[in-house]
Amino acid sequence: MSELTTIARPYAKAAFDYAVEKNAVAKWQEMLAFTAEVANNETMQGVLTSSLASDKLAEVFNNVCGEQLDQHGQNLIKLLAENGRLQALPEVSAMFDSMKAAYDKEIDVDVTSAAELSDAQKAELSASLEKRLARKVKLNCNVDPALVAGAVIKAGDMVIDGSVKSKLNRLADALQA
């Protein structure tokens, strides 16, 4: 996977820079998401690993995508085909999404709580995290009754564990030491 990341990074960066310059970030995000789905298709996987010439491969891929791609999107497909990189499209799309989130100053935050959070709790948590992280926050809430009470919040590399289960585990470790 790290090899695909290394391969995809310059293509994602170039596509993102172009999209920002042309004020078409949302359109490019849609196009790349669509091409990633096409590249992940089982039948298309067989075509991508076949011995087709790069120009024929690009033509087939662009025909499958049809009107979902504009001229510049088709040119990206041709470039990826010429360099034998069409299989990296899902990673290019994922990296483009990450670049867009950073550009928009947004962050996905995973919240796992012992009980369902009310709308008021979600709003308060979101406001607190936006202030702390200086970004727009999108909450992804899950429930795990094994936490007993409290919540675990994950935002990027930051983890805030305020669960009773974690506190009990730390107490047990301290008592055994």
Which tens digits make up the pLDDT trace of 27-63?
Answer: 999 999 998 998 888 888 787 777 778 788 888 888 8
Judge if 116 and 163 occupy the same domain: yes
Under a CB-based contact definition with an 8 Å cutoff, are residues 39 and 89 in contact? yes
pLDDT value, residue 123: 92
Amino acid at residue number 99? M
Do 8 and 81 reside in the same domain of the chain? Answer: yes
For residue 1, pLDDT over 60 is answered with: no
- Residue 64: CATH number of its domain: 1.10.520.20
Same domain, 143 and 94: no
The answer to whether residues 132 and 170 belong to one domain is yes
Q: At 123, which CATH number?
A: 3.40.30
- Full-model pTM: 0.65
Can you give the pLDDT at residue 70?
Answer: 86
Nearest to 92 by CA among 77, 71, 107: 77
Residues 89 and 111 grouped into a single domain: no
Name the DSSP class of 116: P
Number of H helices, E strands in the chain: 8, 4
144 in the same domain as 166: yes
* Number of domains forming the structure of the chain: 2
Same domain, 96 and 115: no
What is the pLDDT at residue 120?
Answer: 92
- The answer to whether 144 and 111 are in contact (CB under 8 A) is no
Domain hosting 70: range is 2-102
Tally of CB atoms within 10 A around 138: 11
Q: Within this chain, do residues 111 and 94 fall inside the same structural domain, yes or no?
A: no
